[in-house]
Amino acid sequence: MPAAKAAFGKETFQFFWDLEKNNRTAWMAVNRERYKECIVQPFRRFLEDLAPDILRLDGEFDMRGKTGANFSRINRDIRFAKDKTPYKTQMYLKFQRPATGETGQLYVGLSAATVTTGFRIYSGSKRRESVLALIACPRVEAKPKWVAQQQKRLSRKYQSYWYSTVKGEWTKHEGWPNGVEDWKKMQAWIVRRQMKPAAATQASFRGEILNTFRELYPILKFTCIPQ
């Protein structure tokens, strides 16, 4: 068997560094092929490499390889944003079951300075219709000790934080959501770990990501997947 190869190289992170300093459409036009070579192709190869194990974890995950389903967009929506730079300086590979709205995801993201991987869930614009409201909250009410059990199992390795809106402002809360009242006002929840960019350039990176997904899949299942 040939030795396993790393999915990403230093050129991926160098592209993000350069994009941060040259976040303009004219620069991207000149560097479009470089973007494909350094970002798009490695991410697609990594998806293909992970796919068999991801489907063993959950055979209903969306694996079409589409932007939106598996890949984040590089273009920013600047219509209502104060920051008018046209491109995001990170890329995410994500796994979730097909859904009409927001649902939980397992993800890995690369930017110029860091690698993050974990679980995240957002309520979207219609919280009452979200999986947070319809699945996660009722389950936490029925099993109030569940969050504490996850915290005990994962907190040494993973960072947890969540968001609510306070007086109309998106507000971050560090730590694990504590009690049903937190869940009733929750707009998003993230459980993740961070790694240095060098980790993604090692052949062991694939195993690290799969191990993270296996450890966090029970959270996705509890909060998002109907029984």
- What's the confidence (pLDDT) of residue 171? 96
**What is the predicted pLDDT for the residue at 136?**
95
CA dihedral 86, 92, 96, 100 (to 10 degrees): 0
Identify the sign of the CA torsion 111, 114, 115, 117: negative
Residue 153: inside a domain, yes or no?
yes
Query: Which CATH number is 151's domain given?
Result: 3.30.930.20
Cα 213 to Cα 173: distance, rounded to the nearest angstrom: 23
pLDDT of residue 4: 63
- Domain of 138, in residue numbers: 10-224
- Averaged pLDDT in 10-residue chunks for the chain of 227 residues: 73 97 97 97 97 97 92 88 89 93 94 97 90 94 95 97 91 94 95 97 96 98 92
Contact 108, 93 (CB under 8 A): yes
In a domain, 116, yes or no: yes
Task: Decide: helix, strand or coil at residue 66.
Answer: coil
The secondary structure of residue 128, as a DSSP letter, is G
Do the domain assignments include residue 1? no
User: pTM of the full predicted structure?
Assistant: 0.93
Give the orientation angle of helix 146-154 with respect to helix 205-224, to 10 degrees.
170
Domain count of the chain? 1
At 61, the amino acid letter reads F
* 4 in a structural domain: no
